[in-house]
Amino acid sequence: MIHDEFSAMRQRMLAEIAAQAIAACAQLGKAALSPRVLDVMAKVPRHEFVPLELRPLAYADGPLPIGFGKTISQPFIVAVMTDLLDVQPTDTVLEIGTGLGYQSAILAQLAQRVYSMELIEELAAQARHRLARQGHVNVEVKVGNGCGGWPEHAPFDKVIVTAAPELIPPSLIYQLKPGGKMVIPAGLPEGQQLILVEKDTSGSISTKEIFAVLFSLLDDSEPD
Measured on CA atoms in the order 179, 17, 108, 148, is the torsion positive or negative? positive
Instruction: For strands 113-118 and 156-161, give the pairing.
Output: unpaired
Is residue 73 flagged as an active site residue?
A: yes
What are the start-end ranges of the E strands in 8-144?
A: 64-67, 70-72, 92-96, 113-118, 139-143
Cα angle, residue 111 at apex, residues 109 and 112 outer, rounded to 5°:
110
Instruction: Single out the catalytic residue among 7, 34, 73, 221.
Output: 73
Residue 196 identity: L
d(CA 163, CA 168): 11
What's 59's DSSP letter? T
What's 32's DSSP letter? S
d(CA 49, CA 67): 12
Query: What backbone phi and psi angles, to 5 degrees, belong to 54?
Result: -105, 5
Active site residues: 73
